[in-house]
Structure 1
């Protein structure tokens, strides 16, 4: 494995933080990023998240699709053919009204790579180079019919196997965020059951992280995100032709608009993770490379650190810290 120093690109002017998106094809990785980007300005006035031109083009297209959903039989299914190329979503992050202080790269690999031996090494390398890993979860696949579709659509076993190979002899703390998406129905009806089912569905992975060698190095948090907000699962139809389920959703009201919720919370916890390591002066290759991002040696960085601290402060979100609270509680 290459050194964890590669979390940061030395050739970039800005310190660069990498976040891997680890999930199967069609689970909703791009939709999650699009909603996060779109809603960030609504929840933070002191911080800004600016997408580069290529990222903005892709996310704006997905946002247009999400906002134009109509009718009471909205159909979602895993695409029969996924993309073949790794996509990097680049954002400049910093205090509003000033030059950016940090670049955040979200890596979205083709979901099929997770079960393709010819590309698996690349997936493993991406995870190793990332300070945090975001795992979007297709919530209806996990929750409905006793989790009948969970293994096929979310690939928890394959994800567990990847971490077995990557998280060995870690030299820095890491953050893993389990993010149920398309979860509107379950947050509304019984949030506690959703958290329980996530922990059951990823039991092998969580047991691995709770092992003697990893419990003190890996923070894990469950953060449900409503990427649309105004729809709920209606029913599931098994497509015999393609051997894949089709999930149908309905709008809560005929004129319901796009109303995402908690889309910024994964980013809030990522920043909280970095800030906590900085404040505790933990030895970490992450902090070595972004020392000037949060350091308290200039007025600008003091203001930025205070803005990050306010944004990262605990809110009334539906979140469960599974382990590593020492890395997440300010």
Structure 2
């Protein structure tokens, strides 16, 4: 079976696994309108079910690191994608890892593994802790999101890039900042400012035609908003609250990163150039028009407004039928 790898990139506590959980849960909900199906392997299914139960049972007020379990070891999440009623034809391999690997106390081997994940992945989803970026004028952004270290990882991993890649900036826990056109515009401004060095790197001559960059805000719970920062022993604790006592789990737009991924792959399939990294696309979609049509239908649902914006690489993400 053909395989495409995706790296969930981000330090400890930013919500990588919760983002992946919401992506899968909403993908299942939205994909039902197409002829596609996605099937997690048994281990992935069990882990995601446990995380989904946590997300659905959040208390009225909580601090994410104290409530949500953290990833303790490297793990792969494997999903098989294909037509309904047919043998799956693509393995989507998400690479998740403990966010502590970014810290100075972590081994060099672990840091090099993150770099290798980025290098071998068709797409990288950067989970952004939005309150850390937005609150107190971004006072805790560098400490929590570690954007300079992430930029350094891309400098090494993309140093000799020979095939296109997709980079998705995914603000999570962003419900508070999408309430109006003004607050949404401010969120986008702060992302561009907070990740300016990374975005400048990806714009250099050798990369700007090979790397597509998109912002996809994901409301991983949908009914939870940032409340306040409590300082305990000199450390910030970000407290969230549910919008009401009986508010139910209701994620918004969490399938969008996968829509963009499939749009990216479909666009490359139709590209006449030969990209060694993506040779499998010729076989995956080349002989199955029904599958290609189903992928197009799902990928065509990519949002481009309301906080969603294509920053770079339009030719790698434009309408596959255009």
Which interval holds the TM-score relative to the shorter structure?
A: over 0.9
Alpha-carbon distance change, 233 to 246 in structure 1, aligned in 2, over 3 angstroms: same
In the alignment, structure 1 residue 77 sits paired with structure 2 residue 65: yes
Of residues 217, 223, 227, the one that matches 1:224 is: 217
Alpha carbons 2:54, 2:68 under 8 Å: kept: no
In the alignment, structure 1 residue 321 sits paired with structure 2 residue 314: no
Aligned counterparts, 1:114-263, within 5 A: 114-115=102-103, 116-118=106-108, 119-189=110-180, 190-240=183-233, 243-263=234-254
Alpha carbons 1:133, 1:175 under 8 Å: kept: yes
Q: Displacement of 1:157 after TM fit?
A: 0.4
Partner of 2:100: 112
Alpha carbons 1:26, 1:78 under 8 Å: kept: no
Partner of 1:63: 52
In the alignment, structure 1 residue 94 sits paired with structure 2 residue 82: yes
In the alignment, structure 1 residue 50 sits paired with structure 2 residue 28: no
Q: Secondary structure at the match of 1:74?
A: strand
Alpha-carbon distance change, 130 to 33 in structure 1, aligned in 2, over 3 angstroms: same
State the alpha-carbon separation in 1 of the partners of residues 26 and 143 from structure 2. 31
Partner of 1:10: none
Alpha carbons 1:25, 1:79 under 8 Å: kept: no
State the alpha-carbon separation in 2 of the partners of residues 284 and 50 from structure 1. 28
Alpha carbons 2:259, 2:302 under 8 Å: kept: no
Of residues 12, 17, 24, the one that matches 1:37 is: 24
Alpha carbons 2:172, 2:217 under 8 Å: kept: yes
Alpha carbons 1:26, 1:79 under 8 Å: kept: no
State the alpha-carbon separation in 2 of the partners of residues 323 and 105 from structure 1. 24
Partner of 2:14: 27
Q: Secondary structure at the match of 1:235?
A: strand
Q: Secondary structure at the match of 2:179?
A: helix
State the alpha-carbon separation in 2 of the partners of residues 23 and 121 from structure 1. 15
Q: Displacement of 1:316 after TM fit?
A: 4.3
Q: Displacement of 1:220 after TM fit?
A: 0.4
Q: Displacement of 1:81 after TM fit?
A: 9.9
Partner of 1:278: 269
RMSD: 1.7
State the alpha-carbon separation in 1 of the partners of residues 204 and 16 from structure 2. 28
Q: Displacement of 1:117 after TM fit?
A: 4.8
Partner of 1:15: 2
* Residue ranges of structure 1 left out of the alignment (5+ in a row): 1-13
Q: Secondary structure at the match of 1:77?
A: helix
Give the TM-score taking structure 1 as reference length: 0.90
